[in-house]
A and B are shown apart, each in its own frame.
Chain A
Amino acid sequence: MGDLSGRVAVITGGSRGIGRAIAEAFLAQGAQVAITGTSAEKGAQAIHELNRPEDTHFIRADAKVREDCERAIDEAIAHFGKVDILVNNAGGASNHAPVADLTDEAFDDALKWNLWSTFWCSRRALKPMIERGWGRIINMSSVEGKVGKPGISIYVTAKHAVNGLTKAMSKELGTTGVTVNALCPGIIETDIVKAEGPGAAEAMGITYEKLIETFAQESATKRVMELEDVAAVAVLLASDIGGGITGSLISIDGGTAPY
C-alpha cells in the first residue's frame, strides 16, 4: 500500500526528464498517472516503458496552449474519474539573450511555457479538487525562481512568477484541503537542458560545459542534481502527510539558494 494509493495525478511534460521521474515515483506509490507532452511518439514510448497500461495515460498537449492545457485536465478526469494531484512540470525557455537584446517573442514564450501553463492547468483542475476537499498542486520552479543568473532572465522571471502564484494560491486554498507548493531544483541535465542549454550558455557568454559547471560549483555539493531527488520530494508533498506543507518553495539544489 503506497503513499499515493487511490490517487490520480496529471504530470505535464511527463514523458521525459523530471516529469517522467515523478511519474515513475508516483506509480511506485500506487497512484494512477496521466502524462502530457507535445510528442505523441515520446508519449507512447513513455507509456510503454512505464509498463503499467491500466494506470497510465498519455495526453498529447502543448503546455503553451490554453485549449491543450484545459483539454488535458478534462481528458484525465474523463479517463481516470478525477484528478487529485497536478504537477505543473512542463517548462523551459528558448532564445535566451541579455535583456538589452531580448525579443518580445522570447519573453512571451517563456511566460506561456512556465507561467500561463501553470495557471491554465491549475485553474481547470481546482474546482473539482475543492469540491472533493483534497488536492495537491506541485509547481516545477527552479533554483532560478529564487536567485537570478545573467543571460537567462526569461527563465528567472517566469520561475519567480511561478513562486509568487504558488504563494498566493496556497493562501486562497488554505482550508480547502488543497495544498500548493513549488519545487526549486538545481540544474539537472534533462533533454530540455541539453537542448536549450547551449543557447542559454551563449547568452551568458560561456560554453555549455561551463554553464553546467557554474551551477554545480554554486552548490555545496559541487554536482548537478538528480531526477530522483526531485521525485522524492514530490511524493512527500503529494501524500496525505504532506497536507501540512503549503505555499512553500522547496529548494532541492545541493545548498545553492540562500533562502
Chain B
Amino acid sequence: MGKLEGKVACITGGTRSIGRGMADAFVREGALVVVNGRNAEKGKQCLDEMGAGDRAAFFAGDASKQADVEGLIDFTIDHFGHLDICCLNSGGVLATAPVAQMSDEEWKLEVDWNLNHVFWGMRRALQHMIPRTYGRIIVTSSVEGKLGKPGIPGYAATKHAVNGLVKAAAHEVGTLGITVNSVLPGLIETDIVRETGPQSATMMGLPSYEAMLDLFAQESAIKRLNTVEEVAAVAVLLASDAGRNITGTMFPVDGGTMPY
C-alpha cells in the first residue's frame, strides 16, 4: 500500500524534470496523476514512459495562462472525480535581464508564469478542497525564493512572492485538513534551465552556462546540484498523511545553500 494510495494529483509542468519526478514518485506510491505541459508530443511521450495506464492523463496547457491553469484543475476533477494534491510546479524565465534592462514583456511573463499561475491554481484547487476538508498544495519555489542573484530579478521576486502566498494561504486553511507548502530546490538542470540558461548566465555576469551551474553548486555545502528525485521525495512526504501537520513551510532541498 503506497503512501498516496488512491490520491488524485495534478502537476503543472509535469511532463519533464521536477514535475515529472513528482509524477513518477506519486504513481509509484499509488496515486492517480494528471500531468500538464505545453507540448502535446512531450505529453504523449511522458504517458508512454510513465506506463501508468489509465492512472495517468495529460492536459495540454500553458501555465502562464489563467484559463489553462484553471482548466487543468477542472479537467483533473472531471477525469478522476476529485483532486487531493495540487502541485504548482511550472515556472522559469525566458529572457531574463538585470532590472535596469528588464523588459515589460519579460517581467509580465515571469509574473504570470511563476506567481499568477500559482495563485490561479491555488484558488481553483482550494475552492474544491475546502468543502471536502482535505487537500495538499505544493508549490515549487526555489533557493531564489530566499536569496537573490543578480540578473534574475523577476525569478527571485516571484519565487519570494509564492513563499508569501504559501504562508498566508496555509493560515487560511490550516484547520480544514489542507496543507500548503513550498519546496525550495537548489538549481536542477531542467529542460528550461538548459534552454534559457546560457542567456541567463550572461545576464548574471557569468562567462558561460557551465559557470552558472558551477556557481549554484559551489554555493551549496555539498558542491553539487540537487536532483529531481530529491525534490520528489519531499513532495511525497508533504502530500502523504505523514505531512498532515506540515504547512506554511518552505521546505529546502538545496544542499545547504540557504542560510535560513
Contacts and interface: CB of A to CB of B under 8 A. Distances in A.
Interface of A: 167, 170-171, 173-175, 179, 186, 219-223, 225-226, 228-229, 232-233, 236, 239, 241-256, 258-259
Nearest to A233: B237
20 contacts: A171-B256, A175-B222, A219-B174, A220-B175, A221-B174, A228-B242, A229-B244, A232-B240, A233-B246, A243-B230, A244-B254, A245-B230, A247-B221, A250-B249, A250-B252, A254-B246, A254-B247, A255-B171, A258-B167, A259-B260
Give the one of B221, B230, B233, B248 with max A CB within 10 A. B221
B217 to A, nearest CB: 11
Contacts of B175: 220-222
Given A219-B174, A244-B255, A255-B167, A173 B221 contact: yes
Ranked 7 nearest A-B pairs via Cβ:
A220-B174, A255-B248, A174-B221, A247-B256, A232-B242, A244-B230, A246-B256
B-side binding surface: helix, strand, loop or mixed? loop
Contacts, number: 112
Given A174-B223, A174-B256, A241-B230, A232 B237 contact: yes
A94 B223 CA distance: 41
Nearest to B233: A241
Contact of B256 (A222, A248, A251, A258): A248
A175 B33 CA distance: 36
Interface residues of B, number: 38
B233 to A, nearest CB: 4
B247 A221 contact: yes
Interface of B: 167, 170-171, 173-175, 186, 220-223, 226-227, 229-230, 233-234, 237, 240, 242-260
Given A219-B174, A241-B233, A226 B221 contact: no
A252 B245 contact: yes
B242 to A, nearest CB: 4
B105 to A, nearest CB: 33
- The residue among B226, B250, B255, B260 with the most chain A CB atoms within 10 A of its own CB is B255
Contact of B222 (A174, A251, A253, A255): A174
Nearest to A219: B174
